[in-house]
Structure 1
Amino acid sequence: MFRKLLYLILIILAACSTVKIPVEPQAKIDADNHFRYALQMETNRDFSAAKESYNFLSESYRSFADIKGMLDCLSGLARIELENDNEKAYLQYKNQMAEMIQNIAPELSYYLLLLELYNYQLENNYSAISQKAINKLDYPEEVNLKLAIDKLQADSYLAIAEEKQVKELISQSKKIEKQQKKAKYNNPELLSSAWYALSYYYFRTADYKTANFYADKAQDWDYRFGNFPGMAHCLWLKAQISAAENNIPAAKSYWKKAEGIFSSLQDNVSLEELNHTMQKMLKEENQ
């Protein structure tokens, strides 16, 4: 009796309620949810699963003419080929993106810029990043934030970062943090990247207390949202900060934690660079 009554009540309530006009089709919602999964797989270096998802989703987005969705997928596929040192396949995806942008959506040209910057990051070409990562008024807010983050990191490495850059990024990160906590923003990795960039700037300027403050925030955020590669980079930075402060036990502890994550992710490039950096720093501190 109770089950039938409940069912009847639900039918009556459904019949009396107003049918809401959907903002977007369910296919778009499903594709976006699947895309977040694919991006997580790429972040965790499960490239096989990520490629399979990106290829499937590219066709899904094509079925309702979502050009941004298609470009997101092609960008992911291109990044994976860069990670795999497959330049031919990378250029094929990049050319597909360029053709799509030229013929359909010229206003989305920033997709090619972001892909180019990713390539420069893999090459550690900080001068190129500093020159190319320039904000534009017609770019989306998130894109300009990403460019500001990349430029601050590059400029910090080159020792040419300006206080104005830092103040602007601090202001932007505070705004996004409030939005994130109110569930009005859904890009936690971008926020943790902003904090990481600030930490790196303060590390390079020998303000180790502030550097640790932002590194702690970024690490905590990455842990909460399962961004373990980002978390490993935070630990790596904290190891460098501790070494600079001559706190060798802490430096070794952070180093080994980062080493464990990179090993688990099979990120041999980062692992090799981590070990080289820390061995060099600790050797210099002992001299």
Structure 2
Amino acid sequence: MILTDSQLDRYARHIVLKEIGGGGQMRLLAAHIVLIGAGGIGCPALQYLAAAGIGRLTVIDDDIVTLDNLQRQILFGTDDVGRAKAELAAEAVRRLNPDVHFEARRERLHAGNAGGLLADADLVLDGSDNFATRLTVSDTCTRARIPLVSAAIGQFQIQIGTWRGWEADKPCYRCFVGDAFDAEDCDSCAELGVLGAVSGMAGSWAALESIRQINGFGGEAAGKVHIFDGLVPAMRSLRIVKDPGCRACVQSSPAGT
């Protein structure tokens, strides 16, 4: 791949970074990222990934825009209420960057279709809002050996984690949260609230981590959870230990294959 004159202009601020350069920009243009959810996290993440020149973006979201989304889902406006989020995301990407091939998947990800939806991704960014989806995504990525960036928000808090659980010394998302979840016990933004700007920070941070994973610059983040508290504000990082009894990791690790 050779960067065109137009691409040299568009990505000039990336290219002058020694951590990216021309070679790194070409890796971004060759990459395929699958984004789970076009909501509070997905909206800013999608814009920064498209602007960065990720060559292929797929968004999986079966939802439509509602009025209460607009406080934090910044891709959408009042006139978009009732329209499909995935289709609006496609329109936004077309406006942002003609280099990006975008695929909108208007369906809900579940155990039966996750393998097919994620199969050829170079990285998955999960911005979904429930543990059932998150665990399905994590297990699928671990089996397929696809790096996973997982982002979550609640009230004033952000959690960002990067997972490569098939590696012998790295945990997966299931190692972090465990096997059990009860949909009735899962708190939601509708019940607890979330500051809109927190969503923007989470999506931008997840996009940054995705770009870091594609290009491999900076410190190793896999197996760490970064927690930002917007009330203080302050951030702390936790290193998650691989669970030797994790069924997803055991099945996907070198010893289990």
Relative to the length of structure 2, the TM-score reads 0.30
Give the number of the structure with larger relative contact order, counting CA–CA contacts within 8 Å between residues 6 or more apart.
Answer: 2
Larger CA Rg, structure 1 vs 2? 1
Which structure shows the bigger proportion of residues in strand conformation? 2
